[in-house]
Structure 1
């Protein structure tokens, strides 16, 4: 079970100090509200989702829409909460303490919302953002391909202009909310081979009910049962010019900014919630497991392990909320977002492994929820960049800082307080 709501003030205290009283009160109330929702609305559905891994759950998305949480970063003008990345992190973090799948449904939809906010035209904002805010337009972003993984420059999905519309064909894989989204942001190649990746791709707004949009029958994955992250085939889908997101040739920027400013902190929050519950479950288990004249919790080596697990969680919390606090304040924080994502996953995975070992053979049984938490943890490594990719970016940043050769503008600076696309000639870090 997730930590009690009394943990909220201690966790947020450092970051709420810099907020005004009204903002602090809203964030604290949001923490409590999502905990209540997770306990009373989501928890009763977890067993059903776990017992049917091939089934895509739509009920949780409808319930979250009722709270308007899909519009957490949407401006109030369009009916959104306009509450920022700290609030978004609280939502995902607290949901993940109860259900990684529920948190994944929310976080996956919020990534393309970032792309729409940053790169959408006034007409696109007027047509779509109110629906995003009230949950009637659930979004996904489709970038990854079956044989290309995260290699954006190697994608083969392409769109050709026929004089009246763009004609899109290709296959996208591991699309979050693939089978319940109403609107897909699809990134495709629109320039011939040899064109620089930063100019070769374009992002399109594609409605799920358009002719030629074909989700492949969903089959369950290792973790996140109930959440769909499957494959979509696009077969000569006709897209009008009004559904180009940003400018033609700006698809790389749409994908990268959405991933870096939304995907990384979202996955960090998901890892944090799972991490917290793994430690809680392990603590409960050893405290109730008889050993000698007491319990496992009385054994020195067990206490040593719990101490290391607790230290990891404290570190992960600080990294998570520090990064999004900087993002909300418009500070350069690309490196902080990278570090929070890669270390957040690593720290959670180490604690998850420890928790499984402390449960011993019982950890393998479906009667004990730790195996679900451990399985869900495996899903946060690759999206938005593997650990190797993240560490390479941090190394490049460090080398540029030491040698004074850095020329790249950070995405967190480029999009600070921005709801429209930046100039296309900016050079930015990936």
Structure 2
């Protein structure tokens, strides 16, 4: 099955193994995911389970997991390739892949060796998916406003509260729950702790799948925890370091993952629009012949190329172990912003044709909206970027936490 090769602009970031993975992802997306897109769109109240099984069988949920734990040991550029190429065919499928990779990153960076040996091989084999449960019904994404509590009771913790908008909630066998473990008045930097809570725990209730405006088939549900008991061995990181677990995972994994989903949608928007304009007859030629139309399409292409370079440059820096927090944040911020603007331009260039339910553009337009809230809204990203502009000293997680094993240029072979 023919696939599209990586563009030349990405070659500085890729090894021959990356290029092979690119073609593998394209083939899998065309063969196993594309045939399910219509089913996912026409049954939006259902959770898509086949796609996650496809990823699990190929070990893609463990793309950043070191080989010693059964993973691919491929790094963040490889992760971006997988999400990007899958999202090109289905943003919902890309969301399924990226959502489990965030708590996997938390476990890699904050888990003990014993915890990694227990949990990560299950992820690598595809027998266990993870979710991260931070957002709450009242506090939203404001981590400092978390109301879920975890009280120490001997060698156990008793967790009570609610979490919402949890990616892969209905697929995960364990959830990384961020809960308050300090008394009122303690600042968030020392008040929160992370726990892995298995889905079978007594007192854990999973609400039904709720329809969203986009990403049909992707599960983003709610958990209610009523005095759920977990052993202290399920605690990830030190007591009081839950904010660090959540923030580092969001910056090092979440931002880049969402940039890759946006990139896949964006690329498909431009591809779909260019094809439409070339094939739409007008005044003895096609719509693509007219300068005003070419101007708008050219602007879309400009944004796409910028978003693609931002996404891959940021994760390339992470694989090399260089400081890149701002680049990861910016890739998510502008990747979404550029993608949404191009999707709106595409809608306008298509006219009424773009609104047809049986035409892919309306799905792409809806899916593009869904990468804004997770891992921080645009306002959150800009505030964090302002720290860099002011030369302030917030925590730089890419400096504090060592990079995962990766297919970097040090192991480059001719492509």
**Common topology (TM > 0.5):** yes
Aligned with 1:167 (options 158, 164, 175): 158
Q: Deviations over 1:193-244 (max 9, x none)?
A: 1101011000001001111111111121000001101111111100111110
Cα contact 1:96–1:103 (8 A) shared by 2: yes
* Alpha-carbon separation, structure 2, partners of 1:417 and 1:227: 29
The answer on whether the counterparts of 1:9 and 1:28 sit within 8 Å (CA) in structure 2 is no
Where does the alignment leave 5 or more consecutive residues of structure 2 unmatched? Answer: 406-415
Task: Give the match for residue 204 of structure 1.
Answer: 195
In the superposition, the TM-score normalised over structure 1's length comes to 0.92
CA contact (8 A) 1:11 1:317 kept: no
- Distance in structure 2 (CA, Å) of the matches to 1:396 and 1:210: 41
Which of 223, 240, 252 in structure 2 is aligned with 1:249? 240
Q: Distance in 2 between matches of 1:359 and 1:181?
A: 39
Q: Which structure would you say has the larger RCO, counting Cα contacts within 8 Å and 6 or more residues apart?
A: 2
1:214-293 aligned within 5 A? 214-293=205-284
Check if 1:84 corresponds to 2:75: yes
State which of 331, 338, 343 in structure 2 corresponds to 1:352: 343
Answer yes or no: is 1:375 the counterpart of 2:366: yes
- How many residue pairs were aligned? 404
CA distance in 2: counterparts of 1:63 and 1:267, whole angstroms: 20
- Residue in 1 that maps onto 2:411: none
Q: Separation in 2 of the partners of 1:409 and 1:103?
A: 29
CA apart distance, 1:291: 1.0
Q: Which residue of 2 aligns with 1:427?
A: none
How well do the aligned residues superpose, as a CA RMSD in angstroms? 1.2
Pairs within 5 Å for 1:5-404 = 5-16=3-14, 24-400=15-391
Cα contact 1:79–1:134 (8 A) shared by 2 = yes
Alpha-carbon distance in 1 for matches of 2:315, 2:349: 33
Secondary structure of the residue aligned to 2:99 is helix
Q: Which residue of 2 aligns with 1:415?
A: 401
With the length of structure 2 as denominator, give the TM-score of the two structures.
0.95
Cα contact 2:158–2:229 (8 A) shared by 1 = yes
- Deviates further, 84-93 or 129-138: 129-138
Q: CA deviation at 1:408?
A: 3.5
Residues 62, 11 of structure 1: alpha-carbon distance in 2 compared, 3 angstrom cutoff: farther
Q: Deviations over 1:321-362 (max 9, x none)?
A: 110000100111111111111011000011000111111112
1:423 counterpart residue number: none
The structural deviation recorded for 1:9 is: 4.5
- In 1: Cα distance, 2:103 partner to 2:287 partner: 46
1:274-312 CA distance string (max 9 Å, x none)? 000000011111111121211111111111111100101
- Residue 267 of structure 1, CA deviation: 0.2
Tell me, yes or no, if the aligned pair for 1:183 and 1:206 is still in contact at 8 Å: yes
State the alpha-carbon separation in 1 of the partners of residues 17 and 12 from structure 2.
Answer: 16
